[in-house]
Every structure is written in structure tokens, then in C-alpha cells.
Amino acid sequence: MAAPTLTEIIDAIGDILTEDQKGALVTSLLDGRVQQVQPGDLITAGLCNQMLTDIADLAVRVSALEGSGGGPVITQIQPKNVEISINSLLTVLGTGFDRVPEYNVVMLGGKQITSFNEASSQEALIFPVPDLFTGLPRTVDLTVETSGKVSNKFPVRLKAQPRQQLGELIVSEAFLPTGTLLADAEVKFGWDVLASTTLEDSLTLSLVVSNAAPAATAAQWQTSAANGFTPPSPMAINPGQTKRVDLTVRAPAGATAADLQLKVVGVDGQIQKSSPVIPWRVGQSLDPSSANAAVVASEVGDDALIKLVANMETAAGSSYPQGFTFKAGANSSIAFEISDKRGAGAPPATYVCSAKLMASEGDWAVSNLMGANPPPVPPGQDFTYVIGIDNNAGAAGTEYLLRVEARQTASAAGLTPYTSFAILPIKLTA
């Protein structure tokens, strides 16, 4: 874009200054060499900006003189020298405002404002910038009218409000591979992603891999998964929409074990979520947790030794609904609420509860304290399962996974065996 000419700048001043004032200003700016500038000549951006600054300063001075007769004068805005976001508070400082803020009329870019923050006064009018502007960022004029008198024009640079995504993403398993899991073979997973959000989003999809056996690293799994998503990453999603995400991935040669999760991250990182862990084990079949019961940590022992953490993320990037921090070398207890989710009319279930570390079991001692073998549980009823847990080894910062399960063992009309479980991370602290 071509730089403005001196003629264009002088014309743009409009009725702010008189003709004599315009001439005096130009003479001052150009060090008395007005005769060297011809109409249509280009001036530098630095000189243009300096002229505009001097013009604004002169306008304030002129308005101050006019305001000596009782008219309003804008001297400054706060915050100053920054772009003002839509819906943020703007403070207009000056003199000659009416002592009752609502008797003043602010015009901001042609939008009228007559309601002000209670902290406003005769020298300061405070209000949120209305969300009525388009084509941002851009500069608009600000004026204050009091008792029929209008202040000087003050330039305000407006910008759009920063994007703020609210709500959450919910990721659930849609389907898992069947049959025996093999290394160096393709497997297919499916998840449903629900956007319980306020804004549309574009989700980055990735496979989080933890506890991978050394012969096949997490990086090998992730390299295979990078181009295996359908739809591909990033995936557009609207508020309230549920989208299916499929992943075809080849298990690396030599793989024996890995815990897999789908991770979805919003475009600005404000929201993210990981699916429940899928425990991939070579030579075995997947055992997804049954929806007939839910296992939820409800209480811990000494809060100085162990803390229950919601939405815990591990160093490997895996996200879990619940987890724990545990003081190294300590011993405590954890209570779990086991909720039967079957419908009315189902026969009582016979549950057997247990808990164990999924790796490095020798670093811990886990014992059943209560509720491992409760009486038959009617549909919809809850019961409490409590374990004692002692840490015997491991340095601060070491992470573990605790699997807590409730196995229904009875077989009867309308009742078959199933297993419901939860996997919870534990991080040792000093």
C-alpha cells in the first residue's frame, strides 16, 4: 500500500484544526521547509506517525482551551498504548464530565454508551467495550458529550476478544479389535468424541503410548499411527457434535505390551482429553471394562501422605480421570466406590474385588481391608472396597499404574460373568 501524501494527511485532519493551525503544524514538523514539499510528495512512515501524534496532542490542547468554558475534554484512556479487546473495560480520563456518569454520552466508533461502571467519576468514565464492531482490529474515534458539548476526538485501537473455548471433550471407546493380539500385525480401534463445548474446534489427534515394552518403543507405535486416523488430524467438530475416530495401526515387530490412548487437543490447547487406557498385550485378547459397574476412587487415608487427583496426566502424556500422588516410603489406604449400573429386575451380582500394580509390583504391598467379597449386590446398589497400600521402593517422580477391578462371578438366568475396572496412575513424591 502506498504511503499517504502530505496533502492527504492535511485533508484528513478535517475540522480538528483551523487552516492557520494546519499551516503552523506543517511548518513545525518540517522544520520550516514547507516550500520543499510539493502536493503528492511521499513522506516517511516515521514522519507520518510523528505528525499524527503531534496532531492528537494539539487537538487535546485546543480542546482543553475550549473546555475551560465547561466542555468535556478527553486527556487519556486506560489501558494506554495497547489494543483494547472487545468486552474488556475501557477507562476514559478527562475533565468537564458530568458528576453523574449516566448524564454523559460516550460515542465509540459510532456506538452510543450511557451505562458506566460504578467506579466512574467526574474525571473517569469506565465501561466495557461493546461487542458491536466488525473488521477488527481497527482504530475508531472516541468522544464524550456533556450538556450538549462534545469533547475532542480520541483514537482508540480495538481488537477482537481472545478466543475462549469452554466445556469439555468426552472420549469413549466405540470398538476394539477382537481375537488374539499379535506383533507386526495391523489392529483397528474406534472412539466416539463428543464436543460438549461452546465453540467449534479443530482437534489434533494423537496416540498416547505408555508402558511400552523395550523391544518396541512408544515412538514406533506413534510413527505407525500418525497416518492411520480416519478422519485425518486435525478433525473439525461443532459444539454438541459426536464424531467417530478410527485408528488403524501396525503393532511394531517385537512388541509385547503397551497401554494405548487416543488424545484429542483443541486448536488453542484450552481443552484436551484422552480416552480410557487400552491395555495391549501380545498373545492376549482385549478385556474392556464392563459398563455393568463403575469403579471410582472416593477417599484416601492420611492426606499428608496420599492425595486424590482429578484429571491426572502422566509424564508420558496419558490422561486419567483420577490418580494419586503418594509420598515415597509411606503407607496408607484408598477407598473405592463400586456402583452397580445394571437395570432393575436383574438378579443380585456376586462381586470379587482386587487391586494390583500393573508393573513393578515389588515396589508395593497391596492388601484388602474391606469389601473384597461383599454380599450379593442388587442392581443399582453401591458398595465400598478399601485397600491398604504401602510403598517399599522407587524414587520421587516415579510413576505407576494401579488396576482396581470388580469381577462379577455368578452365572444365572439374566446374569453372566463380567469384569469392570479402573486404571489409576500413582506418582511418588518426596
Last residue of a domain, one of 254, 281, 308: 281
Q: How many Å apart are CA 8 and CA 10, to the nearest integer? A: 5
> 213 in a domain, yes or no?
yes
Residue 286 maps to a domain: no
In this structure, are 311 and 422 located in the same domain?
yes
Looking at residue 310, its amino acid is A
Among 321, 319, 400, 320, smallest CA distance to 357 is for 400
Q: Is the pLDDT of residue 133 over 80?
A: yes
**More confident of the two residues 201 and 315:** 201
In this model, does residue 67 exceed pLDDT 50? no
Per-residue pLDDT averaged across 345-350, rounded?
94
* pLDDT exceeds cutoff 60 at 5: no
Is residue 116 exposed (0-12), middle (13-18) or buried (19+ Cβ within 10 Å)?
Answer: buried
Q: Is residue 390 part of a domain?
A: yes
In this prediction, residue 412 carries a pLDDT of 87
334 and 365 in a single domain? The answer is: yes
264 HSE (CA, 13 A, CB side):
30
pLDDT reading at 34 higher than 60: no
In a domain, 287, yes or no: no
Q: Please give the pLDDT value at position 317.
A: 67
pLDDT at 275: 86
Segment 99-117 mean pLDDT: 96
**Domain contains 288:** no
- Name the grid cell of 330: 509411606
Give the span between the Cα atoms of 160 and 423, in whole angstroms: 43
Question: Which pLDDT tens digit goes with each residue over 40-62?
Answer: 666 666 666 566 556 655 555 55
Give the three-class secondary structure for 200. Answer: coil
Residue type, 382: D
pLDDT tens-digit readout, 142-195: 999 999 999 999 999 999 988 888 898 989 888 888 888 999 999 999 999 999
Q: What is the CA radius of gyration of the chain?
A: 34
Does 139 share its domain with 242?
no
Task: Judge whether residue 265 has pLDDT over 80.
Answer: yes
Do 122 and 146 fall into the same domain?
A: yes
Query: Which CATH number do you get for residue 84?
Result: 2.60.40.10
Number of structural domains found in the chain: 4
Of 162, 187, 214, at which residue does a domain stop?
Answer: 162
Rounded mean pLDDT, 225-235? 95
Closest CA to 293 of 218, 259, 343, 254: 343
C-alpha cell at 38: 510539493
Residues 258, 214: Cα–Cα separation, whole Å? 10
Instruction: Looking at 262-327, list the stretches that DSSP marks H as alpha helix, in order from N- to C-terminal side.
Output: none
If asked whether residues 262 and 307 sit together in one domain, one would say no
Both 301 and 380 in a single domain?
Answer: yes
User: Which grid cell is 292?
Assistant: 455393568
Tens digit of each residue's pLDDT (9 = 90 or more) over 271-295: 888 888 888 888 888 877 888 999 9
Distance CA 385, CA 380 (A): 16
Same domain, 305 and 255: no
Q: Of 233, 257, 281, which closes a domain? A: 281
Residue 407 vs residues 262, 353, 416: alpha-carbon distances, Å: 26, 6, 11
87 and 197 in a single domain? The answer is no
Cell 478527562 belongs to: 94
77 shares its domain with 62:
no
Lowest-pLDDT range of 27-36, 130-139, 337-346, 386-395: 27-36
Show the domain range for 84. Answer: 69-162
> Do 175 and 262 lie in a common domain?
yes
Cα 418–Cα 422–Cα 427 angle in degrees, nearest 5: 155
- For residue range 413-430, list pLDDT tens digits in order: 889 999 999 989 999 999
266 and 179 share a domain? Answer: yes
Q: Three-class SS of residue 131?
A: coil
Residues 6+ apart with CB under 8 A from 134: none
Query: Do 312 and 420 fall within a single domain?
Result: yes
